[in-house]
Amino acid sequence: NYSAGVQEEASEWHDVLTLPIHEGKVTTNKVVGCQGFWGIEAEVGMSRKTFMWFHHAVQLFPNASYLTKGDDDMFLRVPQYLADLRTLPRRGLYWGLMNIARINEGSENGTRMYLYAAGFIATLARDAVEQVVSYEPLKRLVFYPKNATRRSDFYSVGMDHEDMMVGRALYEKNYLGIVYAREKPCHFHDVHVGFCVRPVTSRSVAIHHVRESNYATLMARFGNDTSPSPRNFTRINRYVIDFTCEKKNISLRV
């Protein structure tokens, strides 16, 4: 069942894709707009939804060079985002606020590590998305979750966190064409609560954990900035791009 607002949006703009997925029951005290863990059933449901979005999007939008996943409590300065995107590689791109995840292989095999983009906004080039959705161990559990006999089956492909799942799939596929575009908290950050809380400033591009009452303030501040210049970045090597933090900085209270 969808709200009247969602149905009206879909009818007028044809920009809503609904997925027949039951996200699962929340089993913790976490609430919308706060950090934390929803419980394994809900987290697996969100991971399935993320995978399904990418799976369908590469087929429904054959001319799209990039695909993005974002949270509904995130404010994005779209003109700035698009200006930056036009300067980034069209192949292999994995862009976002990068974190490190660890895979514990036991005392004999040690620990493996991989990068993943924080889930409030992650942008991938088409070829990178194709790598994610073709990772068979993950694909099987997404389409047939009842085949999992224990929770560790979901953990083994990162489905307990949808953002880690994407990074894990790229890591396990050993895709050599990947290009990590790494953001810094001066541009991509939380506000109010979260792991990376920073004040909103003139440098902010993607702002996570925004309250409903904040959107009008943010639009008043950034809404007229429709033709921004792309931000500067440094190409570290063939695999890594780092965005830099500008010195000029004006704070905004939200």
In which element (H, E) is residue 54 found?
A: helix 40-60
**Chain segment 42-54, per-residue pLDDT in tens:** 889 999 999 999 9
24 vs 192, more confident: 192
Amino acid sitting at position 249: N
Domain edges within the chain: 31-243
Predicted confidence at residue 234, as pLDDT, reads 97
Amino acid in position 142: V
Q: How confident is the model at residue 147 (pLDDT cuts 50, 70, 90)?
A: confident
pLDDT at 252: 72
More confident residue, 31 or 57: 57
CATH tag for 31-243 (out of 3.30.360, 3.30.70, 3.30.559, 3.90.550): 3.90.550
Q: Is the pLDDT of residue 253 over 90?
A: no
Q: What share of the chain is helix, strand, coil (3-state, %, to 5)?
A: 35, 20, 45
> Mean of the pLDDT values across residues 141-149?
86
Residue-wise pLDDT tens digits, 52-85: 999 999 999 999 999 999 999 999 999 999 999 9
**Phi and psi for 74 in degrees, rounded to 5?**
-120, 135
pLDDT in tens, 207-219: 999 999 999 999 9
